[in-house]
């Protein structure tokens, strides 16, 4: 029995992940930089550059020409801010729950590395909050903001791991009333194939 388990574990570890072309789910994490939020950049002292992000990813790669990627990403950053004309410091926070649907085109598929490029659409639930001695004030977004993104990245297939790794960069735009908000996101993910 021990020999059978050992052989099964070795085969699982040595199995090529690139053979899994169907459905994969995974966890994501990274940062957002070059953040330009319409209406916020005009407030001196607030800087939301280098926001953290975590999320989930669902990839459908069984189509012939494109892969479909669906994500739920949560961006956040908190910053101490002194209100002009007052000496009180406030912890100001920004949150964004982004749901995206993207189609990416694998430029070429190989056993180790598959670069891709694509385009996606998104919805963003933006919220701001301030926390001080007086308590917490939350200003939720009163509607959903639509957006879109350009995507570039690569799948990394490591034959000794039963996990598909992904590294990608996205240029994100959010449609806001005054002008478009935009930011860059750099995200890595680990995905496990289900089919």
pLDDT of residue 56: 97
Residue 103 lies in a domain: yes
pLDDT at 8: 47
Residues 160 and 17: their CA atoms lie apart, in Å, by: 8
Q: How far apart are CA 5 and CA 38, in angstroms?
A: 57
Residue 70 lies in a domain: yes
For residue 114, the enclosing domain spans 25-193
Q: Are 9 and 162 in contact (CB under 8 A)?
A: no
Q: Is position 155 within any domain?
A: yes
Domain count, the chain: 1
Q: What is the pLDDT of residues 158-172, one digit of tens each?
A: 877 778 899 999 999
167 in a structural domain: yes
Q: Are 146 and 132 contacting, i.e. CB atoms less than 8 angstroms apart? A: no
Q: What is the pLDDT of residue 143?
A: 66
54-105 pLDDT, tens digit per residue, is 999 999 987 778 999 999 999 998 887 776 666 677 787 888 899 999 999 9
16 or 97, which is more confident?
Answer: 97
CATH number for the domain spanning 186: value is 2.40.160.20
**Max mean pLDDT range (2-6, 41-45, 59-63, 70-74):** 70-74
- Nearest-angstrom CA–CA distance, 168 and 154: 6
Q: Flag whether pLDDT at 15 surpasses 50.
A: no
Secondary structure class of 8 (helix, strand, coil): helix
Burial of 182 per CB tally in 10 Å (0-12, 13-18, 19+): middle
> Per-residue confidence at 33, pLDDT binned at 50, 70, 90?
very high
Q: Is residue 50 part of a domain?
A: yes
């Amino acid at each position: 029995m021990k020999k059978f388990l050992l052989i099964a574990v070795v085969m699982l570890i040595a199995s090529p992940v690139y053979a899994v072309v169907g459905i994969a789910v995974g966890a994501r994490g990274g940062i957002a930089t070059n953040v330009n939020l319409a209406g916020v950049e005009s407030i001196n002292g607030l800087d939301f550059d280098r926001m953290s992000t975590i999320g989930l990813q669902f990839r459908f790669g069984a189509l012939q020409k494109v892969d479909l990627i669906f994500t739920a990403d949560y961006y956040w950053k908190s910053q101490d801010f002194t209100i002009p004309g007052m000496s009180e410091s406030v912890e100001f926070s920004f949150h964004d729950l982004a749901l995206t649907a993207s189609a990416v085109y694998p430029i070429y598929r190989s056993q180790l590395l598959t670069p891709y490029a694509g385009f996606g659409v998104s919805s963003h639930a933006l919220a701001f909050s301030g926390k001080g001695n007086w308590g917490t004030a939350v200003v939720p977004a009163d509607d959903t903001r639509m957006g879109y993104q350009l995507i570039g990245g690569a799948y990394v297939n490591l034959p000794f791991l039963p996990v598909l790794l992904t590294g990608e960069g996205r240029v994100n735009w959010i449609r806001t009333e005054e002008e478009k908000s935009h930011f860059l996101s750099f995200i890595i993910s680990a995905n496990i194939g289900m089919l």
